[in-house]
Chains A and B, each alone.
Chain A
Amino acid sequence: MTPAGSLLMADDLHKSYGHTPALDGAEFSIHPGEVVAVMGPSGSGKSTLLHCLAGIVRPDSGSVHYGGRELSAMSDSERSGLRRGEFGFVFQFGQLVPELTCVENVALPLRLSGVKRKEAEARSLFWMERLEVAAVAAKRPGEVSGGQGQRVAVARSLVTGPRVLFADEPTGALDSLNGERVMELLTEAARETRTAVVLVTHEARVAAYSDREVVVRDGKARDMAGAR
């Protein structure tokens, strides 16, 4: 797929940690509503690619454009604003605040943006219903199963209406059945809301929920859409 009309696009990214190169000329692009799996062996640079795309890590050289703007030209606070408002995140472990109830966890990004409690929790419950975890709204994360907790985390990542969702091994800690349900619900919600999903995974059955895959090896990203 050509980068024309891309929502998020990276060009010739280089990033090293000390003398160890993590990215070596990586390219990437994603369109609104598209789900792209980022695959590759451990240590290939796929998490570094995700961190650069999300503006968490600044590349040594190369560029990341989001909605036509260059990320490295933004100030730290502009990038933080982007991560809070436009981007959503789901990780493998430890994302929920244990002292808060599940609905309070989902509502957290809205509350931090100044949305009133009642409205924030109403919007949170909408997403919790979509993710089939409304029944555990009043429970704390320690009282729910791993699969439920992960769906709460997905609800939280979608509650702000992000345009890009970054998911790093989102089903890595779940069994097959729970993992598949999370992927079904996540990709269904993303496609409906035209949210682009950057999905880092080493599991083929998870990647099978994507529209196409990009393989990262030795710091280079290869788009397999036109592999044949």
Chain B
Amino acid sequence: MSIGHTLLGLLESGPRHGYDLKRAFDDKFGHDRPLHYGQVYSTMSRLLKNGLVEVDGVEHAGGPERKRYAITDAGITDVEHWLAQPEKPEPYLQSVLYTKVVLALLTGRDAADLLDVQRAEHLRLMRELTQRKRGGDLSDQLICDHALFHLEADLRWLELTAARLSPLAKAVRS
């Protein structure tokens, strides 16, 4: 999963300190694997260098200085591009797809559209595999079937998520 894009997406609702970003990330996406502070700060300095965020203010409240980061227009475009780009279909995509759906809902983008585009990408690969299966021998058929069943499971998840977008939108915005 792209931590940089996820942190950028979280900044869309307003500027935050690194510590707030880590908390928001862990709360929404990091149930099993919370971010390390080092990851947050190294990611933010990369985003800063690439012009995707800027420092919105620096505080010195008696301790070490704390930077507050804001997303730039280039950063918003970068998130937009990432969300619109379907993932390469492969087994165990759930965490990146889940993140994209939640971020789309959090930032007021069209999550149904994202799911439609991903479905089309999955079906494109499924067509290729079906074609290969039709022209292949039994071992080709078995190998393709294995991939097809995994992709089908992803698609069922996409359908179910599409059907649950309204309650999910309420839950992530609460």
Q: Chain A interface (Cβ within 8 Å of chain B)?
A: 39, 41, 184, 202-205, 207-210, 213, 215, 217, 222, 224, 227-228
Q: Are B117 and A222 in contact (CB under 8 A)?
A: no
Further contacts, 15 of them, CB under 8 A, given A207-B126, A227-B116: A41-B159, A41-B162, A204-B122, A204-B152, A204-B155, A205-B126, A205-B152, A207-B123, A208-B129, A208-B148, A209-B130, A213-B123, A215-B116, A224-B116, A228-B121
Q: Are B126 and A204 in contact (CB under 8 A)?
A: yes
Q: What would 20 A/B residue contacts be, using CB atoms closer than 8 Å?
A: A184-B134, A202-B159, A204-B123, A204-B152, A205-B126, A205-B149, A205-B152, A208-B123, A208-B130, A208-B148, A209-B127, A217-B112, A224-B117, A224-B119, A224-B123, A227-B116, A227-B120, A228-B86, A228-B117, A228-B121
Chain A binding site: helix, strand, loop or mixed by DSSP? Answer: mixed
Note all chain B residues with C-beta closer than 8 A to A227. Answer: 116-117, 120
- Given A215-B119, A227-B117, are A205 and B163 neighbors across the interface (CB < 8 Å)? no
The residue that B163 contacts in the complex, of A41, A184, A203, A222, with Cβ under 8 A, is A41
- Shortest distance in angstroms between B157's beta carbon and chain A's nearest beta carbon? 11
- Shortest distance in angstroms between B171's beta carbon and chain A's nearest beta carbon? 20
- Shortest distance in angstroms between A2's beta carbon and chain B's nearest beta carbon? 18
Note all chain B residues with C-beta closer than 8 A to A202. Answer: 159
Q: Is B70 an interface residue (CB 8 A)?
A: no
Note all chain B residues with C-beta closer than 8 A to A184. Answer: 134
- Given A41-B163, A184-B134, A217-B112, are A205 and B120 neighbors across the interface (CB < 8 Å)? no
Note all chain B residues with C-beta closer than 8 A to A224. Answer: 116-117, 119-120, 123
- Shortest distance in angstroms between B138's beta carbon and chain A's nearest beta carbon? 13
Q: 1/0 per position for B126-149, CB-CB distance to A under 8 A? A: 110110001000000000000011
In the bound complex, how far is the Cα of B141 from the Cα of A184, in angstroms?
A: 13
The chain B residue sitting closest to A222, CB to CB, is: B116
The chain A residue sitting closest to B148, CB to CB, is: A205
- Shortest distance in angstroms between A23's beta carbon and chain B's nearest beta carbon? 18
- Shortest distance in angstroms between A219's beta carbon and chain B's nearest beta carbon? 14
Note all chain A residues with C-beta closer than 8 A to B149. Answer: 205
In the bound complex, how far is the Cα of B115 from the Cα of A39, in angstroms?
A: 13
- Shortest distance in angstroms between A105's beta carbon and chain B's nearest beta carbon? 28
Note all chain B residues with C-beta closer than 8 A to A215. Answer: 116, 119
Note all chain B residues with C-beta closer than 8 A to A210. Answer: 127
- Shortest distance in angstroms between B164's beta carbon and chain A's nearest beta carbon? 11
